[in-house]
């Protein structure tokens, strides 16, 4: 039995990518970045088609991803960061917000976002996921971004996705006008 299947391929030729890299835990995030960059080049991306944005920490990744996606210049966004569990609940709060923010940006803009943010219990786990025992999650995120960029175009077409998302965003912004408090014309003395 033959079932029609739509899949993305791993050709980055002619595609534009944004890579967002957190500077916090730079020892790990630089390894993720180098591998993601290498992955894009191996898939045929050109240097001129890759833009790198550095942010202070993982918490800032979703905002930067959303900003890049809304420019409509990128076929996919790669989000790279490293969160290590500490002794407080801060880790859980940040992990949840970063994950939610990246997912929300991808869903609302229609631009694929690859999740290359490590969420590890220990530094050793992060090192393993940034190129030692467990491969490199930055490289994997780059491949996912390339495949999803191609899949998105195969499903909706290059221009169709952007037009649909722009229409959705303009409708959304029209319905969410902030209500300002009414100003009284009478002034107290």
Cα–Cα distance, 57 to 142 (Å, whole number)? 20
Cα–Cα distance, 25 to 173 (Å, whole number)? 36
Q: Please list the active-site residues.
A: 90
Residues 6+ apart with CB under 8 A from 189: none
Cα–Cα distance, 149 to 9 (Å, whole number)? 9
Half-sphere exposure of 90 (CA within 13 A, CB side): 8
Residues 6+ apart with CB under 8 A from 82: 22, 24, 25, 28, 29, 32, 58, 117, 118, 120, 126, 130
The distance in angstroms from the start CA to the end CA of the chain is 84
Q: Contact at 8 Å (CB) between 22 and 61?
A: yes
């Amino acid at each position: 039995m033959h079932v029609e299947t739509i899949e993305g391929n791993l050709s980055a030729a002619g595609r534009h990518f944004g890579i967002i890299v957190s500077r916090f835990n730079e020892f790990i995030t630089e390894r993720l970045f180098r591998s993601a960059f290498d992955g894009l080049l191996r898939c045929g991306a050109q240097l001129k088609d890759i833009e790198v944005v550095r942010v202070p920490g993982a918490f800032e990744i979703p905002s930067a991803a959303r900003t890049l996606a809304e420019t409509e210049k990128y076929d996919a966004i790669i989000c790279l960061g490293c969160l290590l569990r500490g002794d407080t609940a801060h880790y859980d709060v940040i992990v949840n917000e970063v994950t939610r923010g990246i997912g929300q940006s991808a869903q609302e803009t229609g631009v694929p976002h690859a999740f290359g943010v490590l969420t590890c219990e220990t530094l050793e786990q992060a090192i393993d996921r940034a190129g030692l025992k467990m491969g490199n999650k930055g490289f994997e995120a780059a491949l996912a971004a390339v495949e999803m960029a191609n899949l998105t175009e195969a499903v909706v077409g290059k221009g169709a996705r952007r037009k649909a998302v722009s229409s959705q965003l303009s409708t959304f912004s029209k319905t969410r006008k902030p209500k300002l408090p009414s100003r009284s014309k009478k002034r107290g003395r």
